[in-house]
Amino acid sequence: MPRSNIQRSNVRYSAPNSGDAANSHHRIKILKKVVLVTLAIIAVRLFAIQIIEHDHWVAKADEQHTLLEAIVAKRGEIYMMDGDEPAAVVLNQTTYQIIIDPSVTEKDKIQHALATYAATYQTADLDEVYSEEGLRYAIIAKNVPKSIADQIAAEEISAVWFAKNNQRVYPEGDLASGLLGFVNADGIGQYGVEGSLNNLLSGKDGLLKSTADVNKVALSIGNDNVKIPAEDGKNIVLSVDRGLQKGVEERAINAINNTAASNASVLIMNSNTGEVLTMANLPDYDPANYGNVTDASAYVNYVTDDPYEPASICKNFAFSAAINEGVMTPDTTFFNQHYEEVDDWKIWNAEQRSSLYGTLTMRQALYWSLNTGSIYALKLLGGDPTRINQQGREKLYDYYYNKFRLGQATGIELIEAEGYIEDPNEGWGRDSTYANMTFGQNLKITMLQTATAFSAVINGGYWRTPTVVKGELVDDKIVPLGSTSTGIEDKILSDETSAMMREMLINNRDYKVRDGTDRPGYDVGGKSGTAQVVRNGAYDDTFAELVGSYIGFVAPAGEMPEYVIMVRMWGEGQSIGSGDAMGLFDDISNYLINYLKIKPGA
């Protein structure tokens, strides 16, 4: 028993009594056990956490440490043409919101900084913000440019911080708002080019996957950091001419102010290429403050997205069809008795002067816009001058729908509505429907479809996909953007048909030459259209509300026309005749000649 001997000797040496010391030794043994047991418990616990639950904690750590951050792609800018040079009409700007924590009492400093630098951007009253109890977050200024935000940041006020915004800026204000559209608060394009070309403009956001610290700052720790760079959006150059668009919009506003119309839409396109030079919708709105618009109809691009009845403008298409089929010439005659009876309906001419009663040429029918004349063209298409038949309907349908592509989306780079053309063989009252279609009622087509088809009528018979995009801007150069337009070119009418139509359309405006509206040295052709409005399922014969349209072309005398202008004016409950639309056309056609410096022909 060596151990107890030692203890005894120790005890004798130091302690008052031996029992106490043995007790002390015993108690130290207890402490030793305490140490071993607790450390063992801890070791087991560590084994459980680090070895058994290891995967669980690693998964949790990934969840907590991994930062997935979108690298935001820069949205492309939008340009129009200024002569041959692109000119920016939609730009980006980084602006800042100023946010404060009112619980940090630095009101005087903040007030001073705001008053000194950013008074015009202030959106909230500081006294009001500070009077609200418990408020920790208040936006006090918006749209603050970087330079000013930097100045305020330099003041180093601890209660102030900044939130970055990417903002669209419109140097031309309201110009072409219906065409351009806007970008909503989520950064997504709405309406117009912003909406239809959103994918191209917005580009592709990149992705940053990394291990991050608690402040979401990426760390260099970890092996699975991923960086996919953002693809910035494309800078889109529109074919629209900025100056022409501006001039046309001014004239359209004048027309609205001087007539009962509340709305006007104008489309100018190159009849030989399909390029849109102007697409105006008025009244317009400020795309930078799109939220201020009270009626969402203000966003609508009526040129492409609102099918309607262009009325007698469609006589061009019925006439073209009959001429192209070789069953009619401008000199073909018919008997006009002011009305035509179809399916027991009497369809009347708008123009009923007695001098027109009797035998007339088709040229005269177009000049006076006689519905009886266009119905006669439909009869000729059917091969039976006495009545409308199935063959006539099918032929007209073939021309309207398949050749002129009316009632079909054109394929332009914009949001489009299709409209419709009635089937020639289904339903009841086919003959009267088709009779109506010859003068542009009982169908729904867009202004763009109409103007594209009209271009084919006058350009030698080529239907070409219209386009509003010239290309993308890369290093200040315009590069074609192949994928946006389908680019169809389809010869649908003979050269002769087209020539005859041009001759008749120019003839339509001979009185305009006489009264000096159309200047000598220029060929201006045109056709009006006045549509009745459907009320309770039938055309309203009181003419209380009418939609006025006019389409025409401008060319140096004796030359192939290059420009088609289409005008549409309307107002709810207002009787807008084609005369109002024609007035605006006259104004614009002359402005176009001046603006584009079109030289007179021989």
Partner 1 sequence: MALGLIIIYAIGPMRANVLNNTYGTNYGTHDFFLGQLRSVLISVAAFFLAFKVIPYKYIQKYSKPIMITALALSVLLWVLALSGSSLAKCELGECRWYNLGPVSFQPAEFLKLALVIYLADFLTRKREEGVVGKWQEFWLPLLLVCGLSLFLVVIAQGDLGTGVALISIIFGTLLVAGVPAKQYLIMLALVLVVAVGAVATSAHRMERVNAWLDTLQGAESSDSTYHIENAMLAIGVGGLTGVGIGNSVQATGYLPESINDSVFAIMGETFGFIGLLIILVVFGALLLRMLKVADGTADMDRRILVIGVFSWTLAQVVVNIMAMTSLVPVTGITLPLLSYGGTSMLFIAFAIGCVCQISCYTSREVIKNEDISSRGRLGGSHHASRRRSS
The contact set with partner 1 (CB under 8 A) reads: 2-3, 6-7, 9-10, 13-16, 20, 23-25, 27-28, 30-32, 34-36, 38-39, 41-43, 45-47, 49-51, 53-54, 56-58, 60-61, 64-65, 158, 211, 213-215, 217, 219, 221-222
User: What is the distance between the alpha carbons of residues 195 and 508, in angstroms, rounded to a whole number?
Assistant: 39
Q: What angle do CA 557, 559, 565 make, to 5 degrees?
A: 80
Beta pairing partners, 329: none
CB of 62 to partner 1, least distance (A): 9
> Token digits for 406?
């009316």
> Token digits for 463?
């239907």
Which lies closer to partner 1 via its Cβ, residue 20 or residue 495? 20
Which lies closer to partner 1 via its Cβ, residue 5 or residue 147? 5
CB of 98 to partner 1, least distance (A): 18
Q: What angle do CA 382, 384, 388 make, to 5 degrees?
A: 60
Half-sphere CA count of 577, side-chain side, radius 13 A: 4
CB of 94 to partner 1, least distance (A): 22
Beta pairing partners, 105: none
> Token digits for 336?
């006009």
Q: Is the dihedral of CA 425, 429, 431, 437 positive or negative?
A: negative
Which lies closer to partner 1 via its Cβ, residue 217 or residue 538? 217
CB of 149 to partner 1, least distance (A): 18
CB of 51 to partner 1, least distance (A): 6
At 531, is the secondary structure helix, strand, or coil? strand
Which lies closer to partner 1 via its Cβ, residue 1 or residue 538? 1
User: What is the distance between the alpha carbons of residues 452 and 57, in angstroms, rounded to a whole number?
Assistant: 66
Which lies closer to partner 1 via its Cβ, residue 26 or residue 387? 26
Half-sphere CA count of 314, side-chain side, radius 13 A: 34
* Number of residues written out for the chain: 602
Helix (H) or strand (E) holding 569: strand 563-570
Which lies closer to partner 1 via its Cβ, residue 157 or residue 499? 157
> Token digits for 74?
């820069």
CB of 215 to partner 1, least distance (A): 5
Which lies closer to partner 1 via its Cβ, residue 33 or residue 477? 33
Which lies closer to partner 1 via its Cβ, residue 31 or residue 296? 31
User: What is the distance between the alpha carbons of residues 359 and 402, in angstroms, rounded to a whole number?
Assistant: 33
C-alpha closest to that of 511 among 494, 528, 497: 528
CB of 117 to partner 1, least distance (A): 22
CB of 25 to partner 1, least distance (A): 6
Which lies closer to partner 1 via its Cβ, residue 23 or residue 131? 23
CB of 152 to partner 1, least distance (A): 16
CB of 27 to partner 1, least distance (A): 5
DSSP state of 600: P
- Torsion angles phi and psi, residue 479, rounded to 5: -110, 135
Give the pairing type, strands 236-241 and 78-82: parallel
Which lies closer to partner 1 via its Cβ, residue 47 or residue 511? 47
CB of 477 to partner 1, least distance (A): 44
Number of helices followed by number of strands (H, E) in the chain: 20, 25
User: What is the distance between the alpha carbons of residues 507 and 484, in angstroms, rounded to a whole number?
Assistant: 38
> Is-contact 251 584, C-beta < 8 A?
yes
- CB environment 439-455: b (16+ within 10 A), e (fewer): bbbbbbbbbbbbbbbbb
CB of 61 to partner 1, least distance (A): 5
User: Which three-class secondary structure string do you get for 342-381?
Assistant: ECCEEEECCCCCHHHCEEEEHHHHHHCCCHHHHHHHHHHH
